[in-house]
């Protein structure tokens, strides 16, 4: 008697048989979002026709608490659910309304990341290093480095160099406010959603940007936020338009390090000198907010005048003394009656005034001789 031959039914053979038959089988995986038509509704379960001759079942706790409106579903209505199990013992695809909402939200933020979509979020609270926000029901995080400082200039200025406590206090004013952001990182497994307001603001259309620039005129005095410090000057953000205060335009006196005058995040008032049409950047000035102190220096400080000032910096060839705002004089080493230190108050005699070359020479040695 011959033995019956065993038929192979492994997945590869089954897949081939299905493919040869031309039958289209929809394969479901846990976590998939599916849309179906309601077939029947009872007090503890709902059946959905999810296509490809497959039916899904939502029952028990997976129906949720009613927040998704399942109690109002009627046969023929369309509903979306999350796959929990591809097939149960009865042949149904096990679905969940309860898990669906969260899955849909994660899918939306993933799509937003992939397509560069701008989202609206609501600030909940400050957390070390940034803000916690509500993003379509998900908790997201906006790092400080990705916040647009223009919207809260006064507060940013307070904590630019402050403590963590001061930072937290300043950012509390944003609680409940709406921000526009872009998604920069999504990890559903780790429940991680990182957002950026700065990236969202980069999407300004050319028309909007041009309109902002057209509203700024040469000679305007405006307030902006320091966004960068470089050896050659200060970058300032004016409501989405970038400008530069060259180091020579920071103060009337000589400036060696812009960082000694301003900090990133600080609010700053500037005067518009001009607009570079090619780069669309603004040339700005701080020193021109006050009159040029060199204009009337000869009238105020003629040769022989006794002046009082404070040593502002020490150099190999002498010491610079701040006489008034924006005006410095030099006590050459040969004209110093003794050692000088930065911050020291001194009295000296004016020995040279050169308005055109902006030079003011001082002497403590000569003053000492006169007093003798």
Q: Which fold has domain 206-289?
A: OB fold (Dihydrolipoamide Acetyltransferase, E2P) (2.40.50)
Which DSSP string do the residues of 65-114 spell out, in sequence order? SSTT-GGG--TT-EEEEEEEES--TTSPEEEESTTHHHHHHHHHHHHHHH
Helix runs in 270-363, H state only: 297-300
The pTM of this model reads 0.46
pLDDT tens, 37-51?
A: 999 988 888 999 988
Give domain limits for the chain: 20-98, 103-201, 206-289, 297-371
The string of pLDDT tens digits covering residues 117-147 is 899 999 998 877 789 999 988 899 998 878 8
Query: Is 103-201 the same fold as 20-98?
Result: yes
Number of helices (H), then strands (E), in the chain? 8, 20
Task: Return the CATH number of the domain spanning residue range 103-201.
Answer: 2.40.50.140
* CATH entry 2.40.50.140 includes domain 297-371: yes
d(CA 304, CA 307) in angstroms, rounded, equals: 9
Please give the Cα distance from 372 to 361 (Å, whole number). 21
Tell me what pLDDT residue 170 has: 62
Does residue 224 contact residue 270 with C-beta atoms inside 8 Å?
Answer: yes
In CATH, 20-98 is 3.20.20.140: no
CA 57/CA 38 separation, integer angstroms? 10
pLDDT in tens, 298-310: 899 999 999 999 9
Provide the pLDDT for residue 361. 94
Q: Tokens 């081939």 sit at which residue? A: 16
Contacts within 8 Å (CB) and 24+ apart, 255-258? 256/313, 257/231, 258/229, 258/230, 258/231, 258/233, 258/234
Output Rg (C-alpha) for the chain, integer angstroms. 36
283: phi then psi, degrees, rounded to nearest 5: -95, 125
- Report the alpha-carbon distance of residue 244 to residue 348 in Å, rounded: 37
Candidates 187, 173, 164; CA nearest to 125 is 173
Task: Give the pLDDT score at 11.
Answer: 45
Q: Which residues of the chain carry a pLDDT beneath 50?
A: 1-11, 14, 18, 67, 151-162
The kind and range of the H/E element at 120 are strand 118-127
What is the C-alpha end-to-end distance of the chain, expressed in Å? 139
């Amino acid at each position: 008697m011959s033995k019956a031959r065993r038929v192979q039914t492994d997945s590869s053979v089954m897949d081939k048989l299905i493919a040869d038959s031309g039958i289209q089988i929809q394969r479901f995986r846990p976590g998939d979002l599916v849309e179906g038509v309601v077939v029947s509704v009872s007090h503890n379960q709902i059946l959905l026709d999810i296509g490809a001759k497959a039916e899904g079942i939502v029952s028990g706790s997976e129906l949720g608490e009613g927040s998704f409106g399942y109690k109002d579903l009627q046969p023929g209505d369309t509903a979306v659910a999350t796959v929990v199990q591809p097939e149960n013992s009865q042949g149904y695809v096990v679905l969940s309304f309860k898990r669906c909402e969260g899955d849909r939200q994660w899918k939306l933020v993933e799509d937003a990341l992939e397509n560069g979509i701008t989202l609206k979020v609501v600030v909940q609270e400050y957390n070390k290093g940034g803000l916690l926000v509500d993003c379509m029901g998900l908790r997201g995080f906006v790092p400080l480095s990705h916040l647009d400082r223009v919207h809260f200039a006064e507060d940013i200025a307070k904590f630019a160099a402050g403590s963590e406590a001061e930072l937290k206090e300043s950012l509390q004013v944003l609680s409940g406010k709406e921000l526009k952001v872009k998604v920069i990182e999504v990890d559903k497994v780790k429940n991680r959603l990182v957002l950026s307001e700065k990236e969202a603001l980069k999407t300004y259309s050319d028309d909007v940007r041009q309109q902002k620039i057209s509203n700024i005129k040469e000679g305007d005095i405006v307030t902006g936020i320091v966004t960068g410090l470089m050896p050659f000057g200060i970058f300032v953000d004016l409501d989405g338009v970038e400008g530069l205060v060259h180091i020579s335009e920071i103060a009337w006196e000589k400036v060696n390090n812009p960082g000694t005058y301003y900090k990133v995040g600080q609010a700053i008032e500037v005067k518009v000198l001009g607009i570079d049409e090619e780069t669309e950047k603004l040339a700005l000035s701080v020193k021109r907010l006050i009159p040029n102190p060199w204009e009337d220096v000869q009238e105020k400080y003629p040769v022989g005048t006794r002046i009082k000032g404070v040593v502002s910096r020490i150099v190999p060839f002498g010491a610079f003394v701040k006489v008034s705002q924006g005006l410095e004089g030099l006590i050459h080493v040969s004209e110093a009656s003794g050692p000088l230190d930065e911050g020291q108050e001194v009295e000296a005699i004016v020995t040279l005034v050169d308005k055109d070359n902006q030079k003011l020479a001082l002497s403590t040695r000569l003053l000492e001789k006169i007093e003798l």
